[in-house]
Amino acid sequence: MLLLLQAAFTKRLLVDPRSLAIMKRGECTFVEKAKSIVINGADIGLVVNTDNELIDLPSGKEKTSECTAPFGLLKQEDGKIAIYKILSVG
């Protein structure tokens, strides 16, 4: 994940930037977010936490077999920095 972001920051993209989904934590479960990544055509997903800590991404009893894209969580401050840097790549 970090390599992908570093590559995006230096314009050496490993993944087309249109295939990176960044979403805010909340509104739905992590599993629903992970499924939406695939449904909407993204190759990788990042959730920006609502505070500056990392947590486990619980799936509860939801089935995760449709969650085929890599998926991770960023602290709020890291998420802000990542979004800024990705957008500045243009």
Give residue 56's pLDDT: 84
Q: Which amino acid appears at position 2 of this protein?
A: L
- Give the pLDDT confidence of 37-88 residue by residue, as tens digits: 888 888 888 889 999 998 888 888 888 888 888 888 999 999 888 888 877 7
Contact by Cβ (8 Å): 78, 47 = no
**Which tops the pLDDT comparison, 2 or 69?**
69
Give the total residue count for the chain.
90
Give residue 4's pLDDT: 47
Tokens of 48: 């920006």
Nearest-angstrom CA–CA distance, 58 and 81: 25
Contact by Cβ (8 Å): 29, 63 = no
Q: What are the two backbone dihedrals, phi and then psi, of residue 46, each rounded to the nearest 5 degrees?
A: -125, 135
Region 2-89: CATH code: 3.50.30.30
Give this prediction's pTM.
0.72
